[in-house]
Amino acid sequence: MTDFDTAFSGSIPALYERYLGPLLFEPYALDLVARLADVEADRVLETAAGTGVVTRLLARTLSSAVEIVATDINQSMLDFAAAKQLPVNVMWQQADALRLPFTDQTFDALVCQFGLMFLPDKKRGFREAHRVLKSGGRFVFNVWDRLEENEFAQVVSAAVAARFPDDPPAFLAQIPYGFHDADAISKDLQQAGFSAVSIESVELRSRSASPREAAVGFCQGTPLRSEIEARGMSQLEEVTSAAERALASRFGLGPIDGRMRAYAMTGVR
């Protein structure tokens, strides 16, 4: 993949789980897993499992007879996820979504929450998903809509950019919020062999106990942290505080609430 397989390391997994889990990922995990509720499956693969937000929900929702194989290229994230108590039908395995270590037509469903954006070759990722699914298997994933449709991320991105006007960090706009052309994604899915492709825009609310927690999540719990520190190791706390002030100015000083939008997508092998 890219350097992102090492960027999610150190203290980032814990911060990612504590702040970004409830802020961004848990609301969409509920939506994503619900799209698998009617699937009769023996084996389900998850790619880009991260700290296990979707994995835990899959384990609670699916039958205990279903084998869940949760993968991520980043061992630090998997180690953090695996440390939590989960049923024995959940297995953790380091794997690159571009080179899945599984034989053809192995899984009944494949789920990926906000991971496709990180693949340097997304078409190959779609082909790999198609390869490991059984005939009739379902590929369910989501990606963020553009930065402007995700209020907290947009405010943080602007606040961080303002601190470095000559060299603004581009991670948020280019990677997590940079893969949002639904028509192009649909076309790529079909070219990879998927049929019955469906795309739905899903708008939910992002909530944080405080502007500080949201700022820490974005600035210190994602690879944006590496971009900030690359511009000066001492800058991290100052930039986080600048993002906190920007969020407070826009949304208030107490618990904050903002719009977020993503696309939920499904294809059938």
* Band of pLDDT at residue 190, cut at 50, 70 and 90: very high
Q: At what angle do helices 122-132 and 182-191 cross, to 10 degrees?
A: 50
Average pLDDT, the chain: 95
Mean predicted confidence (pLDDT) in 211-231 = 96
pLDDT tens profile 90-143:
999 999 999 999 999 999 999 999 999 999 999 999 999 999 999 999 999 999
Q: What is the pLDDT of residue 208?
A: 98
Alpha-carbon distances of 43 from 40, 104, 119, 198, rounded to whole Å: 9, 13, 24, 22
User: In this structure, is the dihedral angle defined by the CA atoms of residues 128, 130, 135 and 138, taken in order, positive or negative?
Assistant: positive
CB distance 56 to 120 below 8 Å: no
Domain 4-268 in CATH 3.40.50.150? The answer is yes
> ∠ CA 84-85-88 to the nearest 5 degrees?
125
* Band of pLDDT at residue 1, cut at 50, 70 and 90: very low
CB distance 31 to 264 below 8 Å: yes
